[in-house]
Structure 1
């Protein structure tokens, strides 16, 4: 019953969890999941110390350290990767990179029973008026990704074949622009990256021997460009203003 420490800072939440599989197969977990905004880097290490103290173990008692490798916030991914590497080097532990979009799918699976043969389409706000997306299937006790991860306009996300759930905050952020939301059998915008889900994924990876040396840990980027120029931001703001003006005109000038 090995312990795994997981850290996740790819969004505005700082999420840290320490967990292991209990004797009955359930997940025994201690966690901190806090909305920290840009302050994740100052909160993640204290949170890790808190869950270790709560479990009554030392970092060296863990079998591995999992981290949210991406996709996600450029700074957030570097924070999680750097923290995982630093802790792993100090305690001489291996690390387990966890796909952030897969963690969303795992959060959904943990929230409620999932019918067989249902795909999970993840759409996560990528800022810059775009969404990260990927599709997963749960079979034989493992997640597999069907197709490739992508980033782009929410209107460009293609629905998978058959019945599917839509998870991640994309539905809440983009509303009707995310066309696939109307075709999903269930929409779970609250199923977001969470270190508790990463513990579950990490334990399965550990059982398969899928760990890497801390020196090899790297974030997963699916976007080459991580920020807009001032001119590009001005164009986006102008387009939003025009859409708002059109909407107000259509509604008789109501604010």
Structure 2
């Protein structure tokens, strides 16, 4: 199988290529440089593999939640590449990527992932390993950190003693302990999502026919309302 994965939803900018069983990666922590970096990363991977876009089976992208601008950059790049290659798109949750990354590094099978959503909120998801892939235990949510115990209560026994990962936990340093979770070491790279961790989900989705035309790809912001400062003349 041949799948390209790209993600720009957070401070991390990354691309990964699954090419006949081998996984090639490009990764960089690069706030505000995603537009400049993501397409050269893709080109480097294709050159390294001796591959071309039109040989791909599908392209996976980080659909969010994350930075509004970052999510839009990722989906825009994915759509442009998919149109050029005439291949379908597969959207993968950024929180699910974080959880899958924990399994890749530490083989942790129950993970709570949280991303700092600003505005004193976090994006939160709970996952458990099944068939080699992190599967959601609850619908993802954007909530206040203090609401996390109540939100996670229905799956408390399943996540007990599991790992906490993501910038939601590094920003709110006491939250993991309050949830009875083991915090991830406070290193930037360990608490960001990386494109290579989309690949297990993307392969399963492609095999199940769960992909879409590029025109139908949609981001996931979780926030229903965003407060915008009104500009003069636009009240």
TM-score bracket, shorter-length normalisation: 0.7 to 0.9
Give the alignment partner of residue 139 of structure 1, picking from 130, 144, 162. 130
1:16 and 2:11 aligned: no
Distance 2:182 2:40 in 1: 40
Change (3 A) 1:12 1:185: closer
SS of the residue corresponding to residue 137 of structure 1 reads strand
String of CA shifts for 1:63-111, please: whole Å, max 9, x gaps: 1000000111111111111111111011100010001100001000100
Worse-superposed segment, 82-91 or 221-230: 221-230
User: Contact 1:155–1:179 (CA<8 Å) still a contact in 2?
Assistant: no
Q: Root-mean-square deviation (CA), in Å?
A: 2.0
User: Contact 1:181–1:187 (CA<8 Å) still a contact in 2?
Assistant: no
Structure 1: gaps (5+ residues): 23-27, 231-255
Find the counterpart in structure 1 of residue 208 from structure 2: 208
Q: Which is higher, the Rg of structure 1 or of structure 2?
A: 1
CA positional deviation for 1:31: 1.4
Find the counterpart in structure 2 of residue 5 from structure 1: 4
User: Contact 2:19–2:49 (CA<8 Å) still a contact in 1?
Assistant: no
Give me the TM-score of the superposition, normalised by structure 1. 0.80
Change (3 A) 1:215 1:188: farther
Find the counterpart in structure 2 of residue 187 from structure 1: 184
Find the counterpart in structure 2 of residue 59 from structure 1: 53
Q: Aligned pairs, how many?
A: 220
SS of the residue corresponding to residue 57 of structure 1 reads coil
Distance 1:186 1:12 in 2: 20
Distance 1:121 1:20 in 2: 30
CA positional deviation for 1:62: 0.9
Q: Which consecutive segments of 4 or more residues in structure 1 shift more than 6 A?
A: none
Find the counterpart in structure 1 of residue 72 from structure 2: 78
Give the alignment partner of residue 29 of structure 1, picking from 17, 23, 47. 23
1:92 and 2:86 aligned: yes
CA positional deviation for 1:141: 3.2
Distance 1:155 1:209 in 2: 39
Change (3 A) 1:75 1:128: same
SS of the residue corresponding to residue 222 of structure 1 reads coil
